[in-house]
Amino acid sequence: MSIEIEDVHKAFESKVVLDGVSLDVREGETLAVIGASGSGKSVLLKTIVGLLPPERGRVTVDGEVVTELKREKLNELRRRVGYVFQFAALFDSMTVAENLTMGLRRIHGMSVEEMARRVTEALTLVEMDGYEDQYPGQLSGGQRKRVGLARAVVTNPKYLLYDEPTTGLDPVTTAVIDRLIAKLDEELNVTSVLVTHDMKSAYRVSDRIAMLHEGRIRFVGTPAEIQNADDNVVRGFIEGRPELVQEASA
Amino acid sequence: MAIGAAAGFGRFGRFAAQVGRSLTDTRTWAPELMVQMARIGVDSLPIALFIAAFTGIVLALQASYTFTGAVPLYFVGVLVGKTMILELGPVLTGLALSGRVGANIAAELGTMRVTEQIDALETLAYDPLAYLCVPRILAAFIMFPVVVAFADGMGVLAGWLTSINLLDLSTPEFIRGLRLFFLPFDVSFSLIKASSFGLAVSGIGAFFGYTTAGGAEAVGRSTTRAVVASSMVILVLDAFWAVILL
């Protein structure tokens, strides 16, 4: 397994968000994590990359236990992971090219020419070439998300973590971003975890889907399997029928 | 309330210790230092000089008004020099910069926190404390004394111009008063205070900004807290240095 999450617990003051989550992500696959808003999907993603340390449990990425790594080792691991934020989290004061260069600057011995070449390649991959000198404030929501994707892949990571990359986008732009994610996963041969509550996105890009409900993994299976699931909580969520979820939870 | 304040001091202490540890990451903070020195120091000069000029004018006029008949008028130079260098130069500049620099740092880091830009830095293998906090705090520590030195000079200059133009005082008389009780230590005292104010303003601004949690409202709250807390700390430090060094 390339990412192993074992019995992870996380709470914010008295609110328990993750209550013993265990999940494995296989090498080369794209796993979508779905669940209601506030179910802890983003928190789970942040524990994978060490942004939020869990109170209990273990997270292993690429054979290294994230929860036990010192800062230097954690930074080495993070160079192998690309993270796409929900609202892109681009650095406002920097141009698109400078945003992409930030990650490259942490790679020892890379020349300025090599950085420029990689930036151009990454922007071409997300169909944003020519926008190098623009500032994030000059871009639309969809364009910002694409630059966020480019920033995540410019360092050639082995793992890609997507935190709701299509939230707030219109259906057409959502489909474009989904196609980009599928293309990146295929061309770069990475292992990906995609957090989303958009079922269409989950079906389009993932090999397997895991559903997070009340702090635990409720279901893991292929897109075909989840569509035929008997569990009313799962069916209620994917079909958008809250009465099924309430019935099952009662 | 006492428990809340103690917890706040504890969090600040932990933050300060983490920033101290991040000082070793020179590769990350060194390239940012000059940029921050320009933003915090050079860009603050106009407001500092403006405040100092009017303070110098008022000091000269009020000294003349107070001394009338009882004290020789050249003592205006004593009062302008001593008051500007020992007290008003550093303190008024510090208070003005707590609004300009402290608020700016808190708002900038707070916005970066709530828009996940600080998380993004971490995922790109940066230590955000080394990249964001260390250069701002070091720049303020270095540049506040520079700004205060200019402010002290501007205050004295404005006091002199006021004296020769609006009061019945000549330049040699003003300079006589200025030199009468002047000690080189006065300048050191002014600059030591300024450095400590720089540390306080930037450290408090960075702390409130970096630890912001929530949305736009939280950024506003952090900014206000940073300005209020750093203004209060400046006044406490002012008294502290007077007790310790004078």
DSSP string, B17-80: HHHHHHTT-HHHHHHHHHHHHHHHTGGGHHHHHHHHHHHHHHHHHHHHHHHTTTS-TTHHHHHH
Q: Give the list of residues 6+ apart from residue B222 with CB closer than 8 angstroms, or none.
A: B106, B107, B110, B208, B209, B211, B212
Q: How far apart, in whole angstroms, are the C-alpha atoms of residue B118 and residue B73?
A: 58
CB pair distance less than 8 Å for B117 and A83: no
> For chain A, how big is the Rg over CA atoms in Å?
18
| pTM listed for this prediction | 0.90
Q: What are phi and psi of A86, to 5 degrees?
A: -55, -45
Picking from B123, B129, B131, B136 by the largest number of A CB atoms within 10 A of its own CB, the best residue to mutate is B123
What is the rounded distance in angstroms from the CA atom of residue A189 to the CA atom of residue B118? 28
Structure tokens at B98: 């707590």
Taking an 8 Å cut-off on Cβ atoms, the answer to whether B124 and A90 are in contact is no
Cross-chain Cβ contact B123/A71 below 8 Å: no
Would you state the structure tokens that stand for residue B62, as one six-digit string? Answer: 């009020």
Partner-chain residue, chosen from B117, B122, B125, that has the shortest CB–CB distance to A51: B122
> Are B107 and B209 spatial neighbours (Cβ–Cβ below 8 Å)?
yes
Helix axes B134-166, B45-67, angle to 10 degrees: 40
User: Rounded to a whole number, what is the distance in Å from the CA of A156 to chain B's nearest CA?
Assistant: 12
Domain that holds residue B173: 2-245
Residue A243 pLDDT more than 80? no
The minimum CA-CA distance between B124 and chain A, rounded to whole Å, is: 5
**Whether B115 and A81 lie within 8 Å, measured CB to CB:** no
H runs (alpha helix) in A126-241: 141-153, 171-188, 199-205, 223-227, 232-238
CA A82 centroid distance within chain: 8
Weakly modelled stretches of chain B, pLDDT under 50: none
- Smallest Cα distance from A51 to chain B, Å: 7
B chain contacts of residue A83, beta-carbon cutoff 8 Å: 119-120, 123
Residue A238's pLDDT band (boundaries 50, 70, 90)? confident
> What superfamily does domain A3-217 belong to in CATH?
P-loop containing nucleotide triphosphate hydrolases (3.40.50.300)
Least Cα separation, residue B56 to chain A (angstroms): 38
A71 touches chain B (CB under 8 A): yes
Q: Which of A15-24, A164-173, B194-203 has the lowest mean pLDDT?
A: A164-173
B119 and A90 within 8 Å at the Cβ level: the answer is no
User: What pLDDT does A132 receive?
Assistant: 94
CA–CA separation, B75 and B122 (whole Å): 58
Count chain A–chain B contacts defined by CB atoms under 8 A.
50
Which two three-digit tokens encode residue B23? 């000082």
Collect all residues of chain B within an 8 Å Cβ-Cβ radius of residue A106: 124-126
Residue A13 confidence (pLDDT): 86
Average pLDDT of chain A is 90
Buried b (16+ CB within 10 A) or exposed e, A32-46: bbbbbeebbbbbbbb
pLDDT beyond 80 at A1: no
Across A160-169, average pLDDT: 88
Residue type, B189: F
Task: Look at residues B106, B146, B102, B133 and name the one whose alpha carbon lies nearest to residue B32.
Answer: B133
One-letter amino acid at B93 equals T
- A196, A202 in Cβ contact below 8 A? yes
B170 touches chain A (CB under 8 A): no
Given a contact cutoff of 8 angstroms between Cβ atoms, the answer to whether A45 and A161 are in contact is yes
The total domain count for chain B is 1
DSSP designation for A250? -
Is the per-residue pLDDT at A45 higher than 80?
Answer: yes
Percent of chain A predicted with pLDDT > 70: 98
- Residue B1: predicted pLDDT: 66
Cβ pair B45, B147 in contact under 8 A: yes
Q: Band of the pLDDT at A250, cuts 50, 70, 90?
A: low
pLDDT exceeds cutoff 80 at A213 = yes
Q: A35 by DSSP, 3-state: which?
A: coil
